[in-house]
Amino acid sequence: MPRGRPRREGADEQILTAARALLRERGYREFTVDTVAERTGIAKTTIYRRWPSKGALVAALIAPPPESSDPDAIVRETAEVLGLLSEPDAEAIEVLHAVLAPRRKLLSEAFGSELQADLVIGALLSRLLVVREPVTKELAETVLRSIRDGRNSIS
Amino acid sequence: MPRGRPRREGADEQILTAARALLRERGYREFTVDTVAERTGIAKTTIYRRWPSKGALVAALIAPPPESSDPDAIVRETAEVLGLLSEPDAEAIEVLHAVLAPRRKLLSEAFGSELQADLVIGALLSRLLVVREPVTKELAETVLRSIRDGRNSIS
């Protein structure tokens, strides 16, 4: 997912505005990209070129990736967004991907290590999906501390 | 999920045998706990007491938790099972939980650290769900190496 301002701001803004209204009206389950296309008159293929799935579009509305390049800030922000997604149902897998893929990319650039990004993002994800407990601020701090202490070895 | 041999082996074996046959006949999507209950004459509540979801029952069939208490062996086995679940769809979230919850528990006992278990299980999960690339043997070794090198600091 591209960072920074989108190139075709007009169409993107139109899509996001319609999508936001639709999400408010119908909620996630009843939200469809088809309806966004109908309401904006923008082709579905154009929408999917920018946001490859319903989950990606919804994620862009509820949680655009952070602007920061500071890993601590990114981890804290990620934990905060995941904190909103407690008790994820089956459909949430798409939203989780859409929320986490750009953040993992930012983190892997910030750490200079894909593995380290997977360890950090993964620890939060494991808490949410495997332990099925909410992702908290405290967890973000614990993970950050462990990564900071072991930075020379985990790379 | 309890480890070792189940207590009520008769009923458990009956359920597993019927479930295995049903899974072969119908595949995951068409598999229902209702049908297992009908075919065995065992109450659905009894089945759910032992396996709390369809995903847990299917996971018990395709991947019972490893017997080993060696963390390296558990991580390798977990990576192998996740390797079978490439391109997980929305329903897979239930299977992932059922596969990973008992393995995370074993690992957290083996490491003596829940955080370390979340980092390791999470790194595999991030690769699968966030990067959407297959979990490989090589990834398991890389994660194990990073954890071994940083063992004193990640705890």
**pLDDT tens digits, A40-59:** 999 999 999 998 888 889 88
User: Which structural domains are found in chain A, ordered by start?
Assistant: 11-62 (1.10.10.60), 71-153 (no CATH)
Q: Report, as an integer, the average pLDDT of A24-36.
A: 88
Residue in the structure block whose two tokens are 């949410």: A128
Q: Report, as an integer, the average pLDDT of B74-92.
A: 83
| Cα radius of gyration rounded to whole Å, chain B | 17
pLDDT in tens, A126-144: 999 999 999 999 999 999 9
pLDDT in tens, A86-116: 777 777 788 888 899 999 999 999 999 999 9
Query: Nearest CB to A125: which of B115, B117, B122?
Result: B122
Tokens of B55: 């995903």
Q: Annotate B45-57 with b (16+ C-beta within 10 A) or e (fewer).
A: eebeebbeebbbb
Chain B residues closer than 8 Å to A123 by CB = 115, 118-119, 122
- Does any CB of chain A come closer than 8 Å to the CB of residue B144? no
* pTM for the model: 0.76
C-alpha span between B134 and B139 (Å, rounded): 9
C-alpha span between B2 and B65 (Å, rounded): 10
Cβ–Cβ of B154/A149 closer than 8 Å? yes
Nearest chain A CA: its distance from B113 CA (Å): 12
C-alpha span between B44 and B109 (Å, rounded): 32
C-alpha span between B135 and B128 (Å, rounded): 6
Q: Does the ipTM surpass 0.90? A: no
C-alpha span between B76 and B57 (Å, rounded): 22
- What average pLDDT does chain B have? 86
Cβ-in-10-Å burial (0-12, 13-18, 19+) of B15 comes to: buried
